[in-house]
Structure 1
Amino acid sequence: MYNQKTWRHVFKLDPNKTLTDEQLNHVCQSGTDAIVVGGTDHVTLDGVLDLLSHIRRFTVPCVLEVSTLDAVTPGFDYYHIPMVLNSQEKKWMMDIQHNAIKEYGHMLNWQELVAEGYVIMNEESKAYQLANCQLPDYDDVIAYAQMAEHLFRLPLFYLEYSGKYGDPELVKRVKAELSHTQFVYGGGITTLKQAEEMAALADTIVVGNSLYTDFDQAIETVAIKHNE
């Protein structure tokens, strides 16, 4: 299996959004370390399968971020299981995951499942609203990071600004708390300069929305891998 610890740059594709075949080819051949397939609303099995069939023509690792059981399918290298730490409802932390294991546990390759502690920071995002999140302050986020590393020993901690560029000072402080848990930052990265700033602070950056708003600039963010 691929070593996710070495991933510095990841593109995220939304099954509910559209890129041309040529653009998808470009994403897959861009030099990014991996491609994550995931979204918040209208994530269907057909949409996931369509992206999977395209990505699998190339050698880039691909991950399904599981947001709905209806869209789970074999064929991905890894399956990321979000646990929304700042949700006000227990189901987003444990119950949905329990239902998934109950239904699919007998057929799962446990080595492919990766739990990620998720903290969603954008009150206006669909993910924040769907998971009924509470906006954390600095101390809350630091505590969530400490929980992810020391209490739950999660492989991934994902600070997600979901379309909005985040606070570099907070990202820096979170990174200082994490020695074993891989720190993933996502949100609002649209330029190479922003990618470089966050990549200097987090282990892995995720570029997603900008693929659909300014494709060429989004592709340029892969250059962080060559500039290091």
Structure 2
Amino acid sequence: MTLDWDGISHITKVDPAKPLPADISALEGTDLVIVGGSDDVTEANTLEAIRAIAETYPSIPVFQEPYSSDHVSRETIEAADFVAVPAVYNGDRDHFVGKHVDLFTEVGRAPEDLLGAGLPIVGDLIASKGVDAIADLTASLIGEGYVVQHLESTAAVTSGVDTTYTSDQVAGAALATETFYGFPIFYVEYSGTYGGPEDVEAAARYLEETTLLYGGGIDSREKATEILEAGADAIVVGDCFHDDPETFRETIPE
């Protein structure tokens, strides 16, 4: 299954550890939903959020973006359209190379060898579900090249990020994403702070096939427009969806 990115410019990041707004009609204007987070996230609340969104808006694609093996199950894979796994360029080895090598090492083994095995990304999923889970996982799993630019964010702490990138380094990571690693997504993540257009402009000039996402501090139509005009294919809006749905609506491009 592939996703047609044409027409996708506004993405909502839903934290399953936070309650959904009583009225989730604000999602009517978004083009895609990513469900994921770090603090207090579980497989159960992830699945609940995915199902609630999919049942209310079945035409909106839903990604699961797990940060822990505990967040993934056969049920979440079946409920989401894709499982998007971040590879954090400025994070520690586990969050760029280690987890992904271990994952595909286990996937490549015979099913009988997987009994009792654990995976850094999907935990005991394959060990407990066998060959059907292997097929489901490989069909729906996609990589995201990630740069985390807010050192005090949970995303930075979780991923072992201890330094931000210059715009030139962001551009280099974007170029590597498209020409070397072949990930379909490159994500510049400011995690609740507004980074402005500079990193987006740097990355955009190197990307033709790869989708460029920007997330962080988008709380107005002006900021959304500035980032999109800088070259992002889509903006990712999270905090204000949970905290202030009316402000969230203002981030949706006209």
What secondary structure, in the 3-state scheme, does the structure 1 residue paired with 2:208 have?
coil
Residue 110 (structure 1) shift: 2.9
Question: Alpha-carbon deviations, 1:160-208, whole Å to 9, x = none?
Answer: 0000001312211211121111111110001111111112220111000
Are 2:62 and 1:68 equivalent residues in the alignment?
no
* Structure 2, unaligned runs of 5 or more: 107-118, 120-125, 127-132
Q: Which residue does 1:122 correspond to in 2?
A: 150
Conservation of the 8 A alpha-carbon contact between 2:51 and 2:79 = no
**Bigger radius of gyration among the two:** 2
TM-score scaled by length of structure 1? 0.89
Q: Which runs of 4+ in 1 moved over 3 A?
A: 98-101
What secondary structure, in the 3-state scheme, does the structure 2 residue paired with 1:119 have?
strand
Counterpart mapping for 1:19-34 below 5 A: 19-22=20-23, 24=24, 26-28=25-27, 30-34=28-32
CA distance in 2 between partners of 1:135 and 1:55 (Å): 33
Are 2:215 and 1:211 equivalent residues in the alignment?
no
Conservation of the 8 A alpha-carbon contact between 1:190 and 1:214 = no
Q: Which residue does 2:122 correspond to in 1?
A: none
Residue 5 (structure 1) shift: 4.7
Conservation of the 8 A alpha-carbon contact between 2:168 and 2:202 = no
Question: Alpha-carbon deviations, 1:55-107, whole Å to 9, x = none?
Answer: 121221111012112111221111111000111x2110122234444253624
Conservation of the 8 A alpha-carbon contact between 2:13 and 2:36 = yes
Q: Percent identity?
A: 31
Counterpart mapping for 1:1-228 below 5 A: 1=1, 2-22=3-23, 24=24, 26-28=25-27, 30-57=28-55, 58-59=57-58, 60-72=60-72, 73=76, 74-87=78-91, 89-101=92-104, 102=106, 103=119, 104=126, 106-133=134-161, 134-201=163-230, 202-222=232-252, 224=253, 227=254
Q: Which residue does 2:129 correspond to in 1?
A: none
CA distance in 2 between partners of 1:7 and 1:200 (Å): 14
TM-score scaled by length of structure 2? 0.81
Conservation of the 8 A alpha-carbon contact between 2:185 and 2:212 = yes
What secondary structure, in the 3-state scheme, does the structure 2 residue paired with 1:21 have?
coil
CA distance in 2 between partners of 1:187 and 1:159 (Å): 9
RMSD: 1.7
What secondary structure, in the 3-state scheme, does the structure 1 residue paired with 2:147 have?
strand
CA distance in 1 between partners of 2:134 and 2:140 (Å): 14
